Structure 1
Amino acid sequence: MSSPDARPMHGDRVDLIADRTSFSVVGEIIVRGVLQDGRGFVELVLPDADPQRRRDLEKETGFQYWLYQDGALLYASPPLQMRGIRWAGGDRSLILTGSP
């Protein structure tokens, strides 16, 4: 399992565990590495079907996730610090940004 880089990884399910919540999301999932101001981050792009989930995640300080495609584990993240969360209104996606 290679770690996310500038080439996006695509999956159809993600299991996410945060400090106070855990859940699975099914749909088009994208994970990509990004570089901002010389620092590396991971962006986890989720379909945003649940506004309550977004509000819950805005309170979190850390998370970890497992990305799957057709039932096969593609990537298991290390524990990450939540660096940001935003909603991309155009494609109705929720974008979590984290770093080790």
Structure 2
Amino acid sequence: MRTWSILRDGRGFVELTLPDADPQQRRDLERATSYRYELYRENTLLYSSPRLTLSETRRARDGALVVAGSPG
């Protein structure tokens, strides 16, 4: 998974790039209106996001699923 924090139109958002190995996960994310994510390293929680409003789902060139959202 790759994570990017970017400004778009002066507003911060998070973009996650996920391998598309699970078709059900893809369908669930495409239907969602909001999401949260947690980042772990070796079973240690490093970051827990606030609730993010889903703004976009799309495919990357390599077929991965890209999910973008903003707080609020």
Instruction: State the TM bucket, normalised to the shorter chain.
Output: 0.7 to 0.9
* Number of residues of Structure 1 aligned to a counterpart in Structure 2: 71
Q: How does 1:1-100 map to 2 (within 5 A)?
A: 29-90=1-62, 92-100=63-71
Higher relative contact order (CA 8 A, sep 6+): 2
Return structure 1 stretches of 4+ with deviation > 2 angstroms: none
In structure 2, how many angstroms separate the alpha carbons of the residues matched to 1:69 and 1:60? Answer: 26
In structure 2, list runs of 5 or more residues that go unmatched.
none
Structure richer in helix, relative to its length: 2
Structure 2-normalised TM-score?
Answer: 0.84
- Give the RMSD, CA atoms, in angstroms: 1.3
Structure richer in strand, relative to its length: 1
In structure 1, list runs of 5 or more residues that go unmatched.
1-28
Structure 1-normalised TM-score?
Answer: 0.64
